[in-house]
A and B are shown apart, each in its own frame.
Chain A
Amino acid sequence: MIQLPCPWCGPRNVTEFRYAGERTPRPDPGTATPRQWRAYLYLRRNPCGVVEENWYHTAGCRRFFTLHRDTASNAVKETR
């Protein structure tokens, strides 16, 4: 089990967190075309490499945070 560096609580086991998915900016709902909106809903990069993703510390500080994780090594580069 890997640990994630929660920016508030420090390193914790990953089971304390919920994965909230790759960061996908929300398009302007007033002008978005169906294609743009559905890309926001469903399309993810899913790279073998560094991904920017959101996590929620369910069993801890209950804060959402963003981290850059290498999906090949689970190495975490940066959190905020």
Chain B
Amino acid sequence: MNRLPERLGEVIDRGTTLSFSWNGQEFSAFAGDTVVSALAAAGQRVFSRSFKYHRPRGLLTASFHDPGCMVQIGDEPNVRGAHRLVTDSMVVTSQNTWPSLRFDVRGANRLVGRFLAPGFYYKTFIRPQRLWPTYERVLRQFVHAGEISPDTRVEHRSTRFAHPDVLVAGGGPAGMAAAVAAARAGARVLLVEEEHQLGGHLRYVGSPAELAELRTEVTASGVEVLTDSVVLGRYDQNWLAVLQRGSGERLIKARARVLIVACGLIERPYVFAGNDLPGVMLSTAVRRLINLYAVKPGERAVVLTANSDGDAAVRDLLDAGVEVAEVVDARSGGDILRAHGRRGLRTVELPGGRRIEADLLVTATGWTAPTALLNQAGDVPVYSAAAARFLPGGKASEDVLAVGGLAGDGTLDELRAHAGAVGAEAARRAATHRYRQLTRTPTAVAGRAPVGGPIEIPDLPVHEHPALFRAKSHGMVDFSEDVSSSDIHLAVREGYDSAELAKRYTTATMGPLQGKLEMVNAIAMVAEATGRSVAETGTTTWRPMYAPVTLGALAGRTVQPVRRSPMHAWHQANGAVPLVAGQWIRPDHYGDPAAEVRAVRTAVGIIDVTPIGKLDLRGPDVPKLLNLLYVNKWSKLAVGRVRYGVMCAEDGVVLDDGVTGRLGPDHYLMSTTSSGAAAVWEWIENWLQTERPEWNVHVTPVTTSYASVNVAGPRSAELIGRLAEGVDLTDFEYMNVRTARLAGVDGCVLWRIGFTGEPSYELHVPAGYGLHVWETLLAHGEDLGVRPFGVEAQRILRLEKGHLIVGQDTDGLTRAFSAGLDRLVKLDKDDFVGKPELLWQHDQGAQTRLVGLQPVNGQIVPPEASQLVAADTTRIVGRVTSSRMSPTLGRSICLAQVEAALAGPDTEVTVLLPDGRRIPARVTEHLAHVDPHGARLHTAGTPGTFRQHPPPVARSPIRTAAHAVGGSPNAALTLADHSALAKVVVRAPHAKAMAASLGVPFGRAARAADGTLVIGAGPGEWLVLGPADSGDGLLKQLRRQAEEVGGFVSVVDLTHGRAMLRLTGDRAADVLASVCAIDLDSDFTPNGAALRTSVATLVTDLVRDDQQGVPSYLLHCERSSGQSLWDAVLDAGAEHGIEISGEPTPSPEE
């Protein structure tokens, strides 16, 4: 056993013994031991075989970045064995060794080493190319990467957003001093340390008392400390990726106002023959082993020292009872020549030829500055020949500062004083930056501007250090890639004579260590081979990631939000086959789409069309807007009428279509395609905000405020009559709109329109009642043969009727005249979007036309996108855009885009099927295959008489597991469904009369005297919340208020359009920090703050509304995403013990 008696400052807990296995053999460890320290204590010296030559490898650095200590733990490959702590019953194996670590047959590679020179694989396996699959299979056996198991459990790693004023990367003495100084100056500080404890090199070189004092200061100053964590990369504006290891990796996305880089220095290996033999170690490695883990690193040592750390290592070795056979002092010209041994070091050969028996060779020949984060901040580190290392170039942006060994040398006191000044200055810069941000953030209360000028930062000395890179023999430069100094010399001889080229050709610095140990040596070898200096040779760029990270941590939670209609649960329960359309889940069909089509044609069918985009338009200038955006005319649309319209983009390409109805003098309801809803809304806002800001129009998206159901078929009027009150159905012609009470639900909007070609009613029902109306339709229509139909039946029905689908029968090049819209486009209008292009298309004639098409053999359905070709040639003259078998006609029917010359009725064209067959097809006279003159549409039949129905029940969009509700009223962290609250949106000019009357500015929320919560939700936009069922009263009151103040104000009820939840508890902000990138600190988001942002990728309004002093947040999003938001917050809250509170609300399943 190599375990030493207790050491002052050791990190192992001798009171707790753990057992683990290594390659099948049982070992014991103390708590705090790394895998490799425990094995080294038990006398193991070889932990892996090298990448290319399968040379035995042992300890080199005894840190995370030890190239020879990668092991497999359970099903986790490539674990850094000199960093990972032992846990009880851990199963550890060596990687890429066969048949065993001790005897690896592929070690024979070392005998053919001269054939494995750089470029060996490129040069050897390039020909013949057909043999590559074989080569690949064989070469795969030599890859050094452990094994992954396909059975590995899928874990979702949570992420977290952090907003520190100062983030300190590195928790050594300088980092700790900087963090403490910054925190004392009032900054919120996050201190990130890669090791398991704070302290850096002080842990194994300093006095434990001094370290304890620094740690106490860190704790006392309120710094947040993350150990076993690392800053992976720095991106623009100090966006930092921080990896928190420990149990399951977690990515922290931090936006730091100032970054302090305190990474310290990494000891550099020396290049000589045999420098990778087990037993050759860096001075920091032996000091870690002795002082942290109480492991005796060897019995008889030779030490090559060029600095005081090497000298100190000699003292530590003697103290640990190691016999020091020889100290070779490089400062006085001493050197070693090579190391000998097979499975480990046996003798050290000095330049004169003298050999010294030893099992340990310790080198202390200089340092590498890991300047990665500085490089990523725009700095170009410069090589100091005197110090033999790179130093900061001073070009980093001003929000990035360096302290500690990276910045210079000096005594511990000098380094601490420097870091303290930098920390204080960082806090000052952060405070200035923070104040600037607070003054620009409407939710925040800025407070007073920070005072005080820059803090003077003392200069750090830079000590001279001998430039030692290589002995008079060749050895390893890159230990993880098996690249030797002679390989780099060869690469230079072959012409790869710059550092960037030689690196890529030899793969030096490209292995798992990414240059941390080998970068300077590699540059020095290129310099040596080219006869240039290291400074002339330059450096390579340090890119993110600085340390390895699992893909799982980068991915975080990958759940995609899903949108559901209020009838979603009914569809699920009734055998609907789901269709994912964008974010929506819709019923494709309920088993037999053809039967669904027949039901619509002969009786009546109902389809859930909730995803259809719906925009509430209010204001005197709506007709101007419609005239501008649609290609047809809108000035004369009477109240109670609806009209079909098509929008084009400025290039004349068809953008979207839908119907718009006029509900009142200044009130319109626009519908859009389901997939175009968001884009059309943005399109309208774009025109209103940037081109026509003088127009008085308010647009409110109400897509999910309403559940939409299309009731279609010859018996539809009969069915509607059984539900409708307050509307005269006998005076309700095609292309009209009415409001009515349906099955007891007020405020329903009915359109007489149809996509199916049958008489039909499109019902828009306040969404909470959607399921009630849906079920009532089915119950009351049972004797009429009512049947739910899905998207597939609807697609067949509309194809029979020849209605185009934008994006299906048109593409990104289809202008209006190519889409059969000739009669709709009104070129005599002064202006409309896309008019010039359409004018030119009209003058030149459309190149392609949309036509109806029927294959001569009606049993063949040409797949969509089949090409139309000119007879007997392969010249493409068009394509099939839609095709189905028509259950009504009993034959196949299509829509097609075809060259204008071939678009005449009865023209025969050839369809080239994917299997190569050519079939004839004939262009039809009309786009519609069924009822081309629309006779059916106007024969609505006799409306039925009203029937009694069950009382309406408003459902919440959120389904809460019933057993989880009301778990514990006193839980520290609760989530409640508040979707039932009345919600009314008020739109009025920002900062005008109505704003004054409501008394709440954008970004803030406040309770009115009557208890309603008034939220300044947007510029010129307020949301007023009242108790459930108070919606009508609230609406009336706000409309009265609007009339009193005058001016252009609109008031829209959104009660049914929003899902709302409340998250309450002292840890509520921590929960949100994993799904929301907003700084929830009380300066930025105090009680009463209101903002809109992205929460779990959903656009969400967030209002801080504390409850009796406990932080509480109202979150609301559009209704159909409510369940996704609820699930995401519950998921994020799981680790904080979240519970569901409140009364169970009626949900779609009940």
Contacts and interface: CB of A to CB of B under 8 A. Distances in A.
Interface of A: 1-3, 5, 8-13, 15-16, 18, 20, 26, 29-30, 32, 34, 37, 40-41, 54, 56, 58-64, 74
A29 B1019 contact: no
B440 interface: yes
A56 B1099 CA distance: 14
B835 interface: yes
B418 interface: no
Contact of B236 (A2, A9, A20, A61): A2
Interface string B1004-1024: 000000000000001100000
Given A2-B236, A40-B650, A12 B1093 contact: yes
Nearest to A23: B690
Contacts of A29: 831, 835-836
A6 B733 CA distance: 48
B1093 A60 contact: yes
25 contacts: A1-B236, A1-B237, A2-B236, A5-B440, A8-B1002, A8-B1019, A10-B441, A10-B444, A12-B1093, A16-B1094, A18-B682, A20-B686, A29-B836, A30-B830, A37-B836, A37-B837, A40-B650, A56-B686, A58-B1099, A59-B1093, A59-B1099, A60-B1093, A62-B685, A63-B689, A64-B686
Nearest to A1: B239
A76 to B, nearest CB: 10
A62 B1018 contact: yes
B651 A41 contact: yes
B442 interface: yes
A6 to B, nearest CB: 9
A10 B1019 contact: no
B237 A61 contact: no
B255 interface: yes
Given A10-B440, A11-B437, A30-B830, A61 B1092 contact: yes
Given A1-B236, A9-B442, A34-B836, 13 more contacts: A1-B237, A2-B239, A3-B255, A9-B1092, A11-B441, A16-B1093, A20-B686, A26-B650, A30-B830, A30-B831, A59-B1093, A59-B1094, A61-B1019
Interface residues of B, number: 35
A2 to B, nearest CB: 5
B115 interface: no
Contacts of B402: none
A42 B1090 CA distance: 39
Contact of A63 (B443, B831, B1019, B1094): B1019
A33 B366 CA distance: 71
Contacts of B239: 1-2
Contact of B1092 (A30, A34, A56, A60): A60
Given A1-B236, A29-B836, A9 B1094 contact: no
Contacts of A61: 1002, 1018-1019, 1092
B1091 interface: yes
B1077 interface: yes
Contacts of A3: 237, 255
Nearest to B1094: A59
B235 interface: yes
A13 B161 CA distance: 12
The 4 closest A-B pairs by CB, nearest first: A10-B441, A10-B440, A59-B1094, A64-B689
Nearest to A56: B682
B650 A41 contact: yes
Interface in B836-865: 836-837, 840
Contacts of A5: 440
Contacts of B1092: 9, 59-62
B700 to A, nearest CB: 11
A30 B691 CA distance: 16
Contacts of B1091: 9, 60
Nearest to A31: B836
A15 B691 CA distance: 25
Contacts of B442: 8-10
A63 B693 CA distance: 12
B857 to A, nearest CB: 44
A68 B441 CA distance: 20
A2 B237 contact: yes
Contacts of B690: 54, 64
Nearest to B839: A29
Nearest to B235: A1
A8 B443 CA distance: 10
A8 B1094 CA distance: 16
A1 B440 CA distance: 20
Contacts of B840: 34
A5 B433 CA distance: 13
Interface in B420-443: 437, 440-443
Contacts of A1: 235-237, 239
A47 B235 CA distance: 23
A10 B651 CA distance: 34
Contacts of B236: 1-2, 74
Nearest to B1018: A61
A3 B682 CA distance: 22
Contacts of B1019: 8, 61, 63
Given A2-B236, A61-B1019, A64-B690, A10 B837 contact: no
Contacts of A15: 1094
B437 A10 contact: yes
Most chain B CB within 10 A, of A41, A60, A61, is at A61
Nearest to B255: A3
Contacts of B443: 10
Most chain A CB within 10 A, of B836, B1018, B1093, is at B836
Contacts of B255: 3
Nearest to A33: B836
Interface string B387-419: 000000000000000000000000000000000
Most chain A CB within 10 A, of B437, B690, B1091, is at B690
Interface in B802-845: 830-831, 835-837, 840
A20 B1099 CA distance: 19
A10 B1093 CA distance: 12
Nearest to A27: B836
A10 to B, nearest CB: 4
Contacts of A34: 836, 840
Nearest to B440: A10
Contacts of A41: 650-651
Contacts of B685: 56, 62, 64
B844 to A, nearest CB: 11
Contacts of A16: 1093-1094
A64 B235 CA distance: 26
Contacts of A64: 685-686, 689-690
B440 to A, nearest CB: 4
B990 to A, nearest CB: 9
Interface in B674-708: 682, 685-686, 689-691
Interface in B993-1045: 1002-1003, 1018-1019
Interface string B1094-1114: 100001000000000000000
A56 to B, nearest CB: 6
A64 B687 CA distance: 10
Interface string B1043-1079: 0000000000000000000000000000000000100
Contacts of B1077: 13
B160 to A, nearest CB: 15
A68 to B, nearest CB: 16
A23 to B, nearest CB: 9
Contacts of B691: 26
Contacts of A59: 1092-1094, 1099
Contacts of B235: 1
Contacts of B444: 10
A62 B50 CA distance: 57
Nearest to B681: A62
B627 to A, nearest CB: 13
Nearest to B701: A62
A72 to B, nearest CB: 12
